[in-house]
Homo-oligomer: A and B are copies of this chain.
Amino acid sequence: MATQSHYEELARQLSAIGTVKRGLGRVLPTDCPAGAAIVLMLLDRYGEMRMSKLAELLDIDMSVTSRHVAHVAERGWVDRKADPLDRRSRLLSINPSGEKLLRQVSERYTNALANCLSDWSDEDVDRLNELLARLRAGFGDTRSRALPHQVESTTRTPSQ
């Protein structure tokens, strides 16, 4: 296990990462905020899925997912059809219009990164990608272990 000072520095680095996310956000096309872009990426990468599955991949509440999806559906970038197996569910899929927009988004993200990170090698980017994936996995798999401090002093069963 790493020592405390290293974790403190990591906490600071993560607190400051907003700079980068805002920088990337500025290159997005009109009417396509970051939340919409991620939805398109995930539907493109993993194919047709339900709302609930998408919410799980996004790791956000389904109520929020619902709003992101409404946004992209209203603009004709994804299709929603009834799930024949369960009429409560909706099956989401990216359509050609959405794919076209996604290509634009990817290109702009890539250009922005290439611009700002012109001195990075493939290996540098790879290492960062791997570490970020590992970081997310650590948090994603352990959400119940990262509960607020109040839990410590109670005996109740952790929610969910």
Interface residues, chain A, CB within 8 Å of chain B?
Answer: 1-4, 6-24, 26-27, 29, 34, 37-38, 41, 59-60, 106, 108-110, 112-122, 124-129, 131-136, 138-140, 142-143, 145-149
Can you list 21 A-B contacts with CB-CB less than 8 angstroms, sorted by A residue number?
A: A2-B114, A6-B122, A6-B125, A7-B109, A7-B114, A7-B117, A10-B125, A10-B128, A13-B132, A13-B133, A14-B132, A15-B41, A16-B38, A16-B136, A17-B136, A18-B60, A20-B136, A26-B147, A27-B149, A117-B135, A128-B128
User: Is A146's CB under 8 angstroms from B115's CB?
Assistant: yes
Report whether over half of chain A's contact residues are helix, strand or loop; otherwise say mixed. Answer: helix
User: Is B122's CB under 8 angstroms from A127's CB?
Assistant: no
User: Is A21's CB under 8 angstroms from B14's CB?
Assistant: yes
A-B pairs, top 6 by smallest CB distance, nearest first, are A11-B109, A13-B132, A6-B125, A116-B138, A7-B113, A7-B110
| Beyond A16-B132, A116-B145, 4 extra complex contacts between A and B, CB < 8 Å | A15-B34, A19-B136, A26-B146, A131-B131
For A4, what are the chain B residues with a Cβ–Cβ distance below 8 Å?
110, 114
